[in-house]
Amino acid sequence: MFLSLYFVNTVIPLSTTELLIINKGLKFIPPCQSRFFSREPMKTIIDQEYNRLYDENCKNLTDYTFSTKDTRAIEYFTEIKNLLEQLYTKPLPTKLKRHAKYIYKMIKSMQRKLQKANIAVGQTDKSKLFFFIDAQEYEEKVKNYMNKTNAYQEITSGICPLADNLHLVILLLDHLLERKDITNEQYKKMYPNLKKLELAHIYFNLKVHKPDISVRPIVASINAPARQISSFLDQLLTPIYNYVTKDITFINSIDLIRKLKEYEQKGYLTSTTLLVIFDVTDLYTMIPRDGAIAALRRFCQKYSANGKIGNLKVETIIKLACVVLDTNTFAYKDKYYRQIKGGAMGSPFTMALANIYMLEWEQKLLQHQNRHHEIYGRYIDDVFMTTNLTKEEILEQLNETIKTDPNIKITITINQALEYLDATVENNNGQLKTTIYHKTAWEPHILPYESDHPRHMHANIIYTMLVRAARICSTVEHFDMERLSAEMILLVNGYPPKFIQQHMKNFFIQHNAMNVWSELDKEAYEQLHNTLLYKPTRRELKSNIQTSGTLNPDRNNYEHKDQIYLHYTFENGPLLDFKKEYRQIWEKYYVYPGSRLKNTRLILGTILNRTLQSLLIHKKPKRNMLKQMQATT
């Protein structure tokens, strides 16, 4: 059974053994890539790894006022270089070498076969699967999407718009700096990175969870001229938006369940209460440009202080927003396009702009829900509501809202049991029941045990699965079913039974809930459920920092002066010893009595090798399509 593949009316020219490797999933990392996959000689690989470690070390040592040129530093760096040379050139264990070589040959074979075949390979939307589809059919779906949304216009001159985009961005930034509308620091922050500059490109993920298997556009614009401006506007406006909408925004399904529990406790959940969800169709490409800019201006004016947000005038923000939209161009296949409606999905500012536009649209619906003590919350383009009206009455209310803006089209579902995000929510005769919703688009795939990841990442997967189940499942019986399901998924993905049992046991010990595991104790589970449900997630902690009672967008990153970070490339084989041996070198030279680093914690982070996704899926057009500097003016 192939868990990580989705075929669309096509037969792919791969053997069963090759398909089994693809079945390991998008995030699978083949082992020992420095020995087989790299085109660079080993000396170059070692030098690149050493140079990065050297640069990071120099920054850390300088921060703590250590010399990077004295005898201590020279000996320290020499030992690091010797360690890398020793580990990178040490022979691989025979079994690992045979396995890594086999995987390498299979992947190379697949790359050749897929290149020859007329088959498009990509990632399914909102899931972790490869898709394989006849290239002609795939292009037909892309063409249909472009025609339906009318959001893209081909640049018929065939000239790469990169130079013009760069000119517009620099012209605006120079103008704003000259007028002192932005500071020197802001100018530098928004200025394009000329060394990495390239035009954006677009690719399309397949929505296999939709009946018509349509596509979702993703614009990769990380090195585009206006990318820094887009990121700047996102960092400026998103904290304000999050603060303003903190009561009507769902960060995740856990946030929803908390609100539903409160709703139930207040007595609003009755045997006839209906649950409503609707999603906005093609939100990012359907919002009109002029309407979005007008909504942004009103939002900024409403939440400004003396006509400014931070030190920026509202009109300065509008000018920056316009240049992001004006330079929204990209390459696809061998053509150039301009997006003329909405914003690019993949650009940081696009979500902020879409959210601000939607906030105006949903105001009347929000007021209606508040008057009736009902829930209203949105996660990007997915809305969840409760109602004690009849189905006909709430549909009438929704239809009235739809009429206010012809650009917003929604798909509505009303019932007493619905799936929202990753939770199934049920009104069971006036009692709230919640369980995990397993999306058929990607279950039961997780990161395979044999993937070339640090082992603690596999352990974290088990912990995360149990935390998610304990947070979402309202009964111990549902939780136990999820635990059993998790065990099966882990076994299918190659996790050893002893590893699974050990880390599951660790979870229950850590949360003082062994009798939940052994006896399905309902009271103990209720305590576990409530403890974890109301414990903030990482995403919530990050959001809380942004919404902690202030509209001031100026914030500084907190630096942990008792911690320093270094990063190394993780790889199985001899390199597994790097972390331990590196620490010994570090302690030998810099952790001594009286050292300023004696009480500083060294954190060694990992850089991972290429995934199966990056080895088999090619989204980028040719380099010359993205790098040409051809001015049209």
What pLDDT digit, counting tens, does each position of 618-629 carry? Answer: 888 888 889 888
- Inter-CA distances, 620 with 124, 204, 339, 404, 599, Å: 17, 12, 18, 39, 46
Q: Model-level pTM?
A: 0.86
The answer to whether 301 and 206 have CB atoms below 8 angstroms apart is: no
Q: In angstroms, how far is CA 602 from the centroid of its own chain?
A: 27
How high is the pLDDT of residue 123?
87
How far is the C-alpha of 370 from the C-alpha of 376, rounded, in Å? 8
Name the stretches of the chain with pLDDT < 50: 1-2, 549, 555-560
Q: What percent of the chain has pLDDT over 90?
A: 73
How high is the pLDDT of residue 553?
52
How far is the C-alpha of 106 from the C-alpha of 14, rounded, in Å? 10
- Inter-CA distances, 100 with 14, 306, 537, Å: 19, 63, 37
Structure tokens at 241: 């938006």
- The CB density around residue 561, as the number of other CB atoms within 10 Å, is 9
The alpha-helical segments, DSSP class H, found in 473-496 are 476-492
List the CATH code of the domain at 253-282+358-436.
Answer: 3.30.70.2630
How high is the pLDDT of residue 555?
46
How far is the C-alpha of 596 from the C-alpha of 21, rounded, in Å? 49
How high is the pLDDT of residue 135?
86
Please report the sign of the dihedral spanned by the C-alpha atoms of residue 279, residue 285, residue 288, residue 294. positive
Residue type, 351: M
Residues 6+ apart with CB under 8 A from 593: none
- The CB density around residue 113, as the number of other CB atoms within 10 Å, is 15
- The CB density around residue 210, as the number of other CB atoms within 10 Å, is 12
Q: Which of 5, 6, 11, 4 is nearest to 113 (CA)?
A: 11
Residues 6+ apart with CB under 8 A from 493: 444, 445, 446, 447, 448, 449
CA angle 395, 397, 402 (to 5 degrees): 90
H or E element, residue 309: strand 308-309
> What pLDDT, in 10s, does the model give residues 286-312?
888 999 999 999 999 999 999 999 999
Encode burial over 170-195: b for 16+ CB neighbours within 10 A, e otherwise: eebbeebbeeebbeeebeeebbbeee
